């Protein structure tokens, strides 16, 4: 189960209703998840959760569960 705040951020970036963003949303699985939207998502995550992702993280975080895990590892409240 991904955190609601993260789902809402993703829904906003992908221009979808939150309920249309599945728990396992990932690049390559969600049609709206394009390269540009991916980077917009990373920027939105940084802004919403007050973190700074490295370029390598931006490229390697390929799904919402991975993003949630990354935030949890950093102790970010989601």
Partner 1 sequence: MPADVSWCRPEQLPDVMRLIDAAWKRGHVLSRDVELLQWQYPRRADGTLSLLVLNDDAEGPVGLLGAIPIDFNLRGRSLPGAMLALWFVRPGYADGSAGLRLLQRLMAEVNGFVGVLGIRESALPLYRALRFHVVPRVERWVRSFDADGLRALLSERPDVYPPDVVNRWTQPHAAVGLPSADFEIVDWNASLAEAWDDAWRRHFAPGVVGPARSAAYLTWRYVEHPRFRYVVRAAVDRRTAAPTGLVVYRPAEIRDRPQRVLRIVELLARPGADAALAGELARVGRLERAAYADFYCTSAKVAEPLVRAGFECERADEPALPALLQPLDFGRATLNGAFYLSPEHAVGDPFSGDDVYFTRSDGDQDRPS
Nearer to partner 1, 4 or 46 (CB): 46
9 binds partner 1 (CB under 8 A): no
How many angstroms from the chain centroid is the CA of residue 18? Answer: 12
Residues 6+ apart with CB under 8 A from 75: none
Q: Kindly state the smallest distance separating residue 39's Cβ from partner 1, in Å.
A: 4
16 binds partner 1 (CB under 8 A): no
Cα–Cα distance for residue pair 50/35, rounded to 1 Å: 22
32 binds partner 1 (CB under 8 A): yes
Phi first, then psi, for residue 8 (nearest 5°) are -65, -40
Question: Looking only at residues 51 through 70 of this chain, which bind partner 1 when binding is defined by CB under 8 A?
Answer: 54-56, 58-60, 62
DSSP code at position 30: S
Q: Enumerate binding residues for partner 1 (CB under 8 A).
A: 27-28, 31-40, 42-43, 54-56, 58-60, 62
């Amino acid at each position: 189960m991904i955190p609601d705040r993260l789902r809402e951020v993703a829904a906003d970036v992908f221009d979808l209703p939150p309920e249309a963003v599945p728990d396992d949303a990932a690049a390559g699985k969600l049609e709206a998840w394009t390269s540009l939207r991916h980077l917009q998502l990373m920027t939105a995550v940084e802004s919403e959760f007050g973190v700074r992702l490295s370029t390598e993280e931006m490229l390697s975080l390929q799904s919402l569960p991975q993003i949630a895990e990354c935030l949890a590892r950093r102790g970010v409240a989601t």
